[in-house]
Amino acid sequence: MLIELAHLTKSYGSTRAVDDLSLQVNAGEIYGLVGPDGAGKTTTMRLTCGALRPDRHDGSEAPRIAIGGFDMLRHTDPARAQIGYLPQRFSMYEDLTVLENLRFFAEVRSLPSSQWRPRCMEILEFVGLADFVNRRAGQLSGGMKQKLGLAAALAHRPKVLLLDEPTTGVDPVTRQDFWQLIIRLVSQEGVAVLVSTPYMDEAARCTRVGFMRQGKLLVEGLPGELRHRLDGQVVEVFGSPLALLRRLAQAEEAVEDAQMFGDRLHLRLRPGQAQAVVERLAQAIPAAGGVLGSIALIEPQLEDLFISLLEDGAGA
Ligand code: ADP
């Protein structure tokens, strides 16, 4: 296993940003850390790369961070050498060219001078920036800057890649491109990736997903497996006006949650109640003057599980 985190806790004053978190990522795996703002994803990343040190509490289990077998807390340098880290706000030198920027990051990572140029060219080729080596970083588009960030994180051939919300704020095409690169990297080089993301479609692409809330890892598993936890409990409703449909649904005792997803409504029901609720709503909606397009039990999405986990803990 390339990333091993055990019993990590980190507090800021009275805020427990990370609370006894443990997770593992194997070579060739993409582990997606998903959670709302403030869940503790960035703090987890910063602990993993050694930028922060976990708290030690008397009586609690000792924290452990092992990267490629190196103990981050005892042998920080060799552990860090295994990691490529793309922070949320990656900064580069805007008045240096693409190649100069990359050379800088390669040198910081002590890549020998005989190696930096071929490696930089190889990596720029990989991320699709080979034609732009002489362009100043300040002149790059948002998507290209993102790729330069990835190239910089990869310059020293890390075995472990940490990506903190790498596609937040970039356009859908760039997000798509970026994921293609990550998937290729994992399949070709067997890198282990820990990526945080607020996007469920990205979570669905990960090998494994962990949901975080208030510093805790609530649940983890394969995306498909996680979705199936709500089998038989999610009903999709098309119709109008959605606000009326939602009000009627919320009046049903068996409806635990009703969320609008664009032009449709997802209802999460208590187990075993779907048929009865579908039948009642199919009558109640037209009776209340609404238009019912369709109402049916569907395969749950990761979003549904995510929302159910947030709801469950809302009062905690
Ligand atoms: P996420 O990345 O999931 O949005 P963070 O790890 O950034 O979450 O934050 C987790 C919690 O820790 C939040 O409540 C945040 O306000 C708090 N926090 C994070 N960094 C600091 C800091 N440097 N000082 C004080 N509080 C912090």
- Which of 185-189, 227-231, 289-293 reaches the highest mean pLDDT? 289-293
Question: What does the alpha-carbon distance between residue 172 and residue 110 come to, in Å, rounded to a whole number?
Answer: 35
Question: What does the alpha-carbon distance between residue 231 and residue 238 come to, in Å, rounded to a whole number?
Answer: 20
pLDDT in tens, 157-179: 899 999 999 988 788 888 888 99
Specify the pLDDT at position 244. 96
The rounded percent of the chain whose pLDDT value lies above 70 is: 99
Residues 20 and 159 in one domain: yes
- End position of a domain, from candidates 227, 253, 287: 227
In a domain? residue 312: no
In a domain? residue 289: yes
Asked if residue 118 has a cis previous peptide bond (ω within 30° of 0), the answer is no
Does ligand 1 have an atom closer than 6 angstroms to the CB of 245? no
- Reported as a pLDDT band with limits 50, 70 and 90, residue 212 is very high
Specify the pLDDT at position 183. 94
Does ligand 1 have an atom closer than 6 angstroms to the CB of 48? no
In a domain? residue 93: yes
Q: Provide the domain count of the chain.
A: 2
Specify the pLDDT at position 114. 82
The beta strand positions in 112-181, using DSSP E, are 160-164
Q: How many CB atoms lie within 10 A of CB 158?
A: 22
Question: What does the alpha-carbon distance between residue 120 and residue 224 come to, in Å, rounded to a whole number?
Answer: 37
Residues 183 and 110 in one domain: yes
Letter string b/e over residues 21-42, b meaning 16 or more CB atoms within 10 A of that residue's CB:
bebbbeeebbbbbbbeeebbbb
The closest-lying atom of ligand 1 relative to the alpha carbon of residue 42 is 2
Residues 208 and 238 in one domain: no
Specify the pLDDT at position 173. 84
Residue in the structure block whose two tokens are 């040190």: 53
Residue in the structure block whose two tokens are 């080979």: 130
Question: What does the alpha-carbon distance between residue 188 and residue 63 come to, in Å, rounded to a whole number?
Answer: 32
Q: What is the CATH number of the domain that holds 113?
A: 3.40.50.300
Does ligand 1 have an atom closer than 6 angstroms to the CB of 43? yes
In a domain? residue 195: yes
Q: What is the CATH number of the domain that holds 261?
A: 3.30.70
Token pair belonging to 182: 């990550």
pLDDT in tens, 40-57: 999 999 999 999 999 987
- Reported as a pLDDT band with limits 50, 70 and 90, residue 199 is confident
In a domain? residue 303: no
Token pair belonging to 66: 């092992």
Does 316 score more than 50 pLDDT? no
Mean pLDDT for the stretch of residues 66-95: 94
Residues 201 and 80 in one domain: yes
Does 108 score more than 90 pLDDT? no
- Reported as a pLDDT band with limits 50, 70 and 90, residue 314 is low
Query: What is the domain range of residue 267?
Result: 232-298
Residues 217 and 285 in one domain: no
Does ligand 1 have an atom closer than 6 angstroms to the CB of 10? no
Question: What does the alpha-carbon distance between residue 91 and residue 298 come to, in Å, rounded to a whole number?
Answer: 43
- End position of a domain, from candidates 176, 202, 227: 227
Kind and range of the H or E run holding 32: strand 30-34
Residues 27 and 41 in one domain: yes
Between the CA of 215 and the centroid of ligand 1 the distance, in Å, is: 9
The closest-lying atom of ligand 1 relative to the alpha carbon of residue 212 is 3
Question: What does the alpha-carbon distance between residue 259 and residue 91 come to, in Å, rounded to a whole number?
Answer: 37
Residue in the structure block whose two tokens are 């190889």: 122
Mean pLDDT for the stretch of residues 12-26: 96
The Cβ-side half-sphere exposure at 63, using a 13 Å CA radius, reads 22
The closest-lying atom of ligand 1 relative to the alpha carbon of residue 88 is 2
Residues 223 and 280 in one domain: no
